[in-house]
């Protein structure tokens, strides 16, 4: 039943052309977020910096403050603290949210996908084996 509701929501989104549809907490799961995270893996990984900064410990961190990575002034000067709300805004359109960032990524238009990805990112704490 839950799957059917979820599929209906997706279907409605496709037909309405809207990417910002209502969803419930039960629609958001970490496994889906981990799958969406593969879109980030051209530049990022969990525990160490690559072309982009590592994501372990991202939550509640000030943007552009992860030690050992050279951030753009645009990000370090943004004053952003990474929370569910700020990540949602940034991931929707990174270059519009922080003009001057090196993150040349068009963004994730689907609010459900953003929520799932953010849910997964929130698990990347020092307790997570992916961060060791």
Which residues contact another protein by CB under 8 A? 38-43, 48-51, 72, 95, 99-107
Looking at the Cβ atoms of 60 and 106, the one nearer to another protein is 106
Looking at the Cβ atoms of 66 and 102, the one nearer to another protein is 102
Between the CA of residue 3 and those of 6, 10, 17, 28, 86, what are the distances in Å?
5, 11, 21, 12, 29
CB 47 → another protein: shortest distance, Å? 9
Looking at the Cβ atoms of 30 and 93, the one nearer to another protein is 93
CB 1 → another protein: shortest distance, Å? 25
Rounded Cα distance, 41 and 64, in Å:
19
Within 8 A by CB and 6+ apart from 129, the residues are none
DSSP class of 40: G
């Amino acid at each position: 039943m839950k799957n059917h509701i979820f599929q209906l929501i997706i279907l409605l989104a496709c037909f309405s052309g809207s990417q910002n549809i209502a969803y419930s907490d039960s629609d958001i799961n970490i496994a889906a977020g981990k799958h969406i995270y593969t879109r980030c893996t051209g530049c990022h990984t969990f525990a160490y910096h690559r072309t982009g900064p590592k994501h372990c410990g991202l939550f509640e961190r000030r943007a552009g403050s992860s030690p050992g990575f050279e951030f753009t002034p645009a990000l370090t000067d943004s004053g952003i603290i990474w929370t569910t709300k700020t990540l949602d805004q940034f991931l929707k359109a990174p270059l519009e949210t922080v003009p001057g960032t090196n993150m040349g990524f068009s963004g994730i238009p689907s609010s459900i996908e953003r929520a799932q990805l953010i849910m997964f990112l929130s698990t990347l704490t020092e307790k997570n084996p992916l961060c060791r």
